[in-house]
Structure 1
Amino acid sequence: MKPKLNFIYLLIFVLLVITVSEWIGIQSIPVGSVRISLLPLVFAILITMILGLAIFRKGFMKKVYSKENVDFAGKYLIFIMLPLMARYGADIAPKIHEIMQVGWVFILQEIGNLGTVLLGLPVAIWIGLRREAIGATLGIGREGELAYISEKYTLDSDEGRGVLSLYIIGTLFGTLFFSIIAPLMSAAGFSIEALAMSSGVGSASMMTGASSALIAGAPERADTITAYASASQLLTSFLGTYTMVFLAVPLQRFMYKLLVRGRAK
């Protein structure tokens, strides 16, 4: 009965966090000529991270962060992401003809998925990571990488801890970074369409942060920004999976063996 009761506490806690985060809403902070958009998702992550600290894990919170609940959340996290795909499709449909005219550009940007392996893996090994680096540098640690690592190694492995760490860090700091960099590049003269396309890197939170910041600066083009960003996100989530499996994984395996040779594993 105890695990079942702890799960009920988890559901109550999740509903409370969602309610508080949505009540806070999207907060825009002006920094010079740029506005940084903080999304409810960012506040939800911050709340759950702070309340998960040992100092707060007492009584009700101890039951919420029980081992059973943590294991359950890690195991079924990927299923929560599936409805996002349907939402992307709905956003793309109204602009499908316009998007098809520049379709090859969406495909070209998939080459960027290899950047995390080429740049991130050597740095991760250099600072002392080993098997954790495999999960942390396979991609930007979003749904595709999370699913692959969880299926191949499980989320309770070193590789799983690596991808989960990057997932949380990306959700929190990646969203803030994208919220800042998108309007800065817009102010520098880059086209709205190009910036909207580049915001779809495979992360729903990063895409939302970038597109929301762009919409705040050009509200009259909200439909175009949303459609291009969603199309890029959907294509990245689809093609990015094949890029990861057939290109990133073999490349990472080769580089990992080369980099850890002669080092303690």
Structure 2
Amino acid sequence: MKSKGHLVYLILFALFLITAAEWIGTQSIPIGNITINLLPLVFAILIAMILGTAIFRRGIMKKVYSKENVNFASKYLIYIMLPLMARYGADVAPKLREILDVGWVFLLQEIGNLGTVLLGLPVAILLGLRREAIGATLGLGREGELAYISEKYTLDSSEGRGVLSLYIIGTLFGTLFFSIIAPVLHALGFSIEALAMSSGVGSSSMMVGASSSLIALAPDQAEVINSYAAASQLLTSFLGTYTMVFLAVPLQRFMYNLFTGGKR
């Protein structure tokens, strides 16, 4: 009964976060020709992080952040991501013919999924991480990586803490980075279509950050930008899973053993 009572607090707190974040809305910060978009998701995570600190974790907040609720949230987090896939499909369908005409370009970008292992793993190990690096560098720490790590190691493991840390960091700073880099690359001469395709890196928040910045630059091409970004995101989420399992995982295991001698 105690765990069920705590779960009620967690649900009410989630509703509070959603309401507060939606009330704040998307905040745009113009810096010259660049517009940085802060999404409601960013504010929701910031509020949750602040209220989870020792200063605020008292009384009701202590029940919200109870061990039972943390374990429950870790276990069922992946199910929250499933409706996103349905939304991607709805965005892709109206522009399916145009997307198929340039389909090979979307497929080519999947090679980039190995970049986190090739570049990130050596840096993580150099910084002193061990098994945490497995979760933190398998990908961008999005839904696919989260599901794989949680199934193979559980989210309460060192690997799980690595992927969850990257998930939080990516949501907070990745969105800001993509909101900035997309208009910067456009100013350097990259086409709107190319940048829209590259927005789908496997992260919904990063994709929205990049595509929103592009739409702010070219509002007349909003439908094309959304369709290309969603198609790219859908392919990354689908094909990226196979790239992760059959390429990234063996490569990461080889590199990890090479750099650490297999030490935990």
What does residue 195 of structure 1 align with?
Answer: 195
- What SS class does the counterpart of residue 189 from structure 1 fall into? coil
1:132-163 CA distance string (max 9 Å, x none): 00000001100000000000000000000000
Tell me, which stretches of 5 or more residues in structure 2 are unaligned?
Answer: none
Q: How far did 1:91 drift?
A: 0.2
Shift of 1:2: 1.4
Q: What corresponds to 1:88 in structure 2?
A: 88
Q: Distance in 2 between matches of 1:51 and 1:249?
A: 36
Query: Is 1:14–2:30 an aligned residue pair?
Result: no
Map of 2:140 onto structure 1 = 140
Matched, 1:60 2:55: no
Unaligned runs of 5+ in 1: none
**1:126 paired to 2:117:** no
Stretches (4+) displaced over 3 A: none
Partner SS, residue 81 of structure 2: helix
Number of residue pairs matched by the alignment = 264
Which amino acid letter does the alignment assign opposite residue 22 of structure 1? Answer: E
The residue matched to 1:57 in structure 2 has which SS?
coil
Quote how far apart the aligned CAs of 1:188 are. 1.7
Residue type of the alignment partner of 1:14: A
Contact 2:257 2:263 in 1 (8 A): no
CA distance in 1, matches of 2:186, 2:7: 45
For 2:243 and 2:130, how far apart are their aligned partners in 1?
A: 23
Task: Report the identity percentage.
Answer: 78
More moved, 185-194 vs 85-94: 185-194
Deviation by residue 1:180-239 (Cα, 9 ceiling, x = unmatched): 111111122211110001010000110011111111111111100000000000000000
CA distance in 1, matches of 2:221, 2:180: 19
Specify the alignment match of 1:259 in structure 2.
259
Scaled by the length of structure 2, what TM-score is found? 0.98
Deviation at 1:173, TM superposition (A): 0.4
In the alignment, structure 1 residue 168 sits paired with structure 2 residue 154: no
Q: How far apart are 1:168 and its partner, in Å?
A: 0.5
For 2:156, what is the secondary structure of its paired residue? coil
- Name the SS for the 2:37 alignment partner: strand
Do structure 1's residue 250 and structure 2's residue 250 form an aligned pair? yes
User: 1:264, CA displacement in angstroms?
Assistant: 5.8
Give the Cα separation in 2 of the matches to 1:17 and 1:255.
Answer: 40
Does residue 1:49 correspond to 2:49, yes or no? yes
Q: Summarize the Cα distance change of 1:78–1:88 in structure 2 as closer, same or farther, 3 Å threshold.
A: same
Structure 2 residue aligned with 1:74: 74
Counterpart mapping for 1:191-230 below 5 A? 191-230=191-230
Question: In 1, Cα distance between the equivalents of 2:187 and 2:253?
Answer: 40
Task: Tell me which amino acid in the other structure corresponds to 2:39.
Answer: L
TM-score (norm 1): 0.98
Matches for 1:229-244 after TM superposition, within 5 Å? 229-244=229-244
In structure 2, distance between residues paired with 1:224 and 1:58: 48
- AA matched with 1:17: L
Following the alignment from structure 2 to structure 1, what is the Cα–Cα distance between the partners of residues 32 and 193? 24
Contact 2:36 2:179 in 1 (8 A): yes
Inter-partner Cα distance in structure 2 for 1:27 and 1:216: 13
Q: Deviations over 1:88-131 (max 9, x none)?
A: 00000110000000000000000000000000000111110000
Secondary structure of 1:28 counterpart? strand
AA partner of residue 70 (structure 1): V
